[in-house]
Structure formats: C-alpha cells, structure tokens
Amino acid sequence: MNQYKVLFVGPVASGKTTAVRSLCGDNIITTSKKTSDEVSSIKNDTTVSLDYGVLQLGDLKMHIYAAPGQERFSFMHDILVKGSIGAILLLSMQHIKIEEVGQILYEYLQVIEKNPCVIGVTQTENFDVNQIELFLNAISEYHPSLSDTIVVDVRKKHDVLKLVEKMVVKANER
C-alpha cells in the first residue's frame, strides 16, 4: 500500500480544517479551541496544534494534516511538513486583501521554497471573475513559481481532491 502525507497551511480562516473534513469526513482529529484574541472577530474557534485525518483511495492511503493559521503557532509548519510530499497553501479572498498577498506569501516562504507547494484560493463566492483574476495574478507576480494555483471550494471534496492531485503530481516531478 502506498502512503503519502500532505500538509495544509494558510492564514487563519482560510479553510484548512474544512479541507481536512471534506476529504476525511467527520472522523478527524482536531485541536480547535475557543478564540481569545483578535481572531475572535473572524471565527469562534481556531486550530492550536493540528488537524489530522486519513483518506483512503483504493490502495493509496493519504495522511492529511492541517497546521494552525495563527502566526504564533507557525513553528508547527516545520514539525508537520516533515515526511510530507509537500504543502497546500490556502488563501482566502474573504480575509486577504489583494495588497496583502505578497506579505502572506512571504510569511510562508520557508514552506513554499523548501517543499513542493500548490495554492488553493478559497472563499471567492462574493467576488467577480475580474477580482479573482487579479488575486491570482498577484500570487504569480509575487512568486512566479506558484503556477499551480487554483480556485477551490474547500467544502466540496471534489475541489479539495484536485488540490491533492496537483500536489501528488508536483511531488512526483521532483
């Protein structure tokens, strides 16, 4: 049986826990705690250590992890990325302004440059096609190697599987 480990990273409220749940169902391990800081204005609870689930696809077993999004827990990226085939960075258009894209990518630079990485742009429902295109262009402008960027709805398993598939392909290219 082939086994892979995939890590979801991204800022708070980008959809990491939802992506793990979409892939693995409700039988996941999560370390969500009630928010007690500025994150409480965005959401009621937040991941403080990791989220974990298993996705079985025939003979393939995928270990799916999500790292916390708060900057104070960023040390978890280095721990969780070990042994993975790469990282999937989720960026929410709902919570990231286009002028913040460069700064967000900089915050994840170590993960992006040391590992195969694909990006999923999430929470695009309230934006038109032109705004989405500008957001995608900002990503490739700030980091041209991130051409594997797609718009996804992390609530839909099919969309999240597209990201995982891109990650597997990119990892096998190395």
Q: How far apart are CA 54 and CA 65, in angstroms?
A: 9
Q: Where are the domains of the chain?
A: 2-173
| Homologous superfamily, domain 2-173 | P-loop containing nucleotide triphosphate hydrolases (3.40.50.300)
pLDDT tens digit sequence for 65-90: 999 887 878 888 888 899 999 999 99
Q: Which two tokens stand for residue 57?
A: 């696809």
More confident residue, 6 or 173: 6
> Among 72, 27, 73, which Cα is nearest to 50's?
73
Q: Where are the alpha helices (DSSP H) in 34-174?
A: 75-81, 101-107, 109-114, 129-142, 157-173
Q: What is the pTM of this model?
A: 0.91
Question: Coil, strand, or helix at residue 164?
Answer: helix
Q: pLDDT tens-digit profile of 32-60? A: 656 666 655 565 666 667 899 999 988 98
